[in-house]
Amino acid sequence: MAFTPTPARQAPPTEIGVLGWLHKNLFSSIPNAILTLIAAYISIQGLYWIISWAFINADWVGTSRDDCTSDGACWVFVSVRINQFIYGFYPPVARWRPNLTFALLVGFLIWLAVPQIPYKKLGAILSLTAFPVVAYFLLYGGAFGLPVVPTSRWGGLMLTIVIAVIGIVLAMPIGIALALGRRSDMPAVRLVCTIFIEFWRGVPLITILFMASVMLPLFFSEGVSIDRLVRALIGITLFQSAYMAEVVRGGLQALGKGQYEAADALGLSYWQKMNLVVLPQALKIMIPGIVNTTISLWKDTSLVVIIGLLEVLGQVRQALADPNWLGYPAEGYIFAALTFWVFCFSMSRFSQYLERRLDTGHRN
C-alpha cells in the first residue's frame, strides 16, 4: 500500500503576519492583553493631550504674549524670538554674513559627501584652507569693507555651530597625533601623550571652561587680551582631542596585525605606512566613535554659558528672563531640544550612510 503524505496546510491567520505578531507579543495571555490595553489607553490619552496642546489649541501668530489666549502652547514666543535664538545679538543688517557662511559650509559638505560630485580632493583642500579664512572675515569682519562684529554679540544657533565645527575640526588631527604617540615605540613620546590624554579625560569640561576663562590669560604677558570665545575653543579642543585620541587608538588596535606587517614588508616608512595603509582603513572603523564624539561635543556646547557665551540654549534662557514673556519656559526649551535633536539625528544618519558606503567587508 503506497504512502500518500498529507499536504502542508497554511498556518492559521493568527500565527502569521500582523495578527501573528500582535498575538505573540501583545496578547499572548490574559495578563499581557490587559497590560497592553492599559498601556494603549494611557498612550492614546497622552498623545491626544500633546497634540491638542502643541498643535490644535496652540497660538501661532502674534507679536506679544497678549496674543496667547488659548490653553495650548504659545509658539508666538518662539516666532517673536526666533532671530535671537539663531543669531544671538548679531546686528540684523549683517545677518547675511552668517547666512552666507553656513551656506558655504553646507555646500562644501555636500561636495564632499555626494559621490557623484567630482574633484573631492580639491573640495577637501578648499574646505580646510580657503573656507576658514573666508568664514572668519565674514563672521568677524575687519576686511573687505565689512565692519567688525565682536564675538560678544555672537550667540544662538550660530555660535553653537561655530564652536562645534571648529572644535571637532581641530580636535581630529590632534587626536590622531596623540593616538599615534600613545602607540609609539619611544617611551618619552608615549608617556607624554598618555599623561595628556588621561589628564584631559579625567577633568570635567565645565572645569576646563572655567580654567580657560580665568587662568589662561595669566599665562600671557600683561596687556594681552584673549577673546572669551577663543579661550573656550582652546579648552574645548584640548578636551575633545583627548577623547578623539582614544577613538583613533581603538580603530588602530582593531585593524589586523597583518596590515602593519604587509606595509613593513613593502619597505614603507612609518609615515607612509600610516598615511597609505593603516589610517585609511582604521578611519572606516572609527566612524561610529567619531560621530559619537561629535554629537557629544555638539551637546556640550551648552556649557559655554557659564563663561558668558550664549549659544542656542543660553539665548532661550535669556529670552525667558524677559518679564514680558514670563511663564512660557516649555515652548523655549522644546525649541532648543528639537534643535539639538535635529542636528544630532542628522549626524547619526549621515554616519550610517558613510558606514554603508565605505563598508568593504574587512570586518568579516
The three cell numbers locating residue 266: 613593502
Tell me the pLDDT tens digit for each residue of 40-80.
999 999 999 999 999 999 989 888 888 888 888 989 999 99
pTM above the 0.85 mark? yes
Tell whether 199 and 243 lie within a shared domain.
Answer: yes
Q: Which of 239, 260, 219 is nearest to 178 (CA)?
A: 239
Contact 113, 96 (CB under 8 A): no
Tell me the pLDDT tens digit for each residue of 130-149.
999 999 999 999 888 899 99
| Residues whose CB is less than 8 angstroms from the CB of residue 70 and which lie 6 or more positions away in sequence, other chains included | 57, 58, 59
Could you tell me if residue 99 is inside a domain? no
Question: Helix (H, G, I), strand (E, B), or coil: what is residue 74?
Answer: strand
Tell whether 189 and 43 lie within a shared domain.
Answer: no
Tell whether 314 and 178 lie within a shared domain.
Answer: yes
Tell whether 265 and 305 lie within a shared domain.
Answer: yes
Tell me the pLDDT tens digit for each residue of 280-332.
888 888 888 899 999 999 999 999 998 889 999 999 999 988 888 887 788 99
pLDDT number for residue 122: 94
We report the CATH number of the domain holding residue 226 as 1.10.3720.10
Tell whether 211 and 345 lie within a shared domain.
Answer: yes
Return d(Cα 282, Cα 248) in angstroms, integer.
8
Tell me the pLDDT tens digit for each residue of 195-220.
999 999 999 999 999 888 887 777 77
Tell whether 43 and 86 lie within a shared domain.
Answer: no
pLDDT number for residue 11: 66
Tell whether 38 and 82 lie within a shared domain.
Answer: no
Could you tell me if residue 111 is inside a domain? no
Tell whether 49 and 183 lie within a shared domain.
Answer: no
Tell me the pLDDT tens digit for each residue of 6-26.
777 776 666 667 778 887 888
Could you tell me if residue 242 is inside a domain? yes
Residue 22 burial by Cβ neighbours in a 10 Å radius (0-12, 13-18, 19+):
middle
Contact 113, 154 (CB under 8 A): no
On the question of pLDDT at 168 being above 80, the answer is yes
In this prediction, residue 1 has a pLDDT band, given cuts at 50, 70 and 90, of low
User: pLDDT higher for 357 or 105?
Assistant: 105
On the question of pLDDT at 228 being above 80, the answer is yes
Residue type, 310: L
On the question of pLDDT at 362 being above 60, the answer is no
What's the domain count of the chain? 2
Mean pLDDT of 101-124: 92
Return d(Cα 214, Cα 222) in angstroms, integer.
14
Could you tell me if residue 265 is inside a domain? yes
Could you tell me if residue 161 is inside a domain? yes
pLDDT number for residue 79: 92
Mean pLDDT of 337-354: 91
Tell whether 223 and 256 lie within a shared domain.
Answer: yes
Contact 151, 229 (CB under 8 A): yes
Tell whether 52 and 156 lie within a shared domain.
Answer: no
On the question of pLDDT at 363 being above 60, the answer is no
pLDDT number for residue 68: 85
Tell whether 31 and 180 lie within a shared domain.
Answer: no
What integer best gives the mean pLDDT of the chain?
Answer: 88
Could you tell me if residue 114 is inside a domain? no
Tell whether 185 and 248 lie within a shared domain.
Answer: yes
Return d(Cα 191, Cα 124) in angstroms, integer.
33
Could you tell me if residue 322 is inside a domain? yes
User: pLDDT higher for 99 or 225?
Assistant: 99
The three cell numbers locating residue 86: 539663531
Could you tell me if residue 64 is inside a domain? no
How many angstroms separate the Cα of 324 from the Cα of each of 69, 231, 338? 15, 34, 24
How many angstroms separate the Cα of 148 from the Cα of each of 21, 33, 141, 153? 63, 66, 4, 11
pLDDT number for residue 358: 76
Residue type, 10: Q
The domain of 38 spans: 13-56
pLDDT number for residue 67: 87
In this prediction, residue 364 has a pLDDT band, given cuts at 50, 70 and 90, of very low
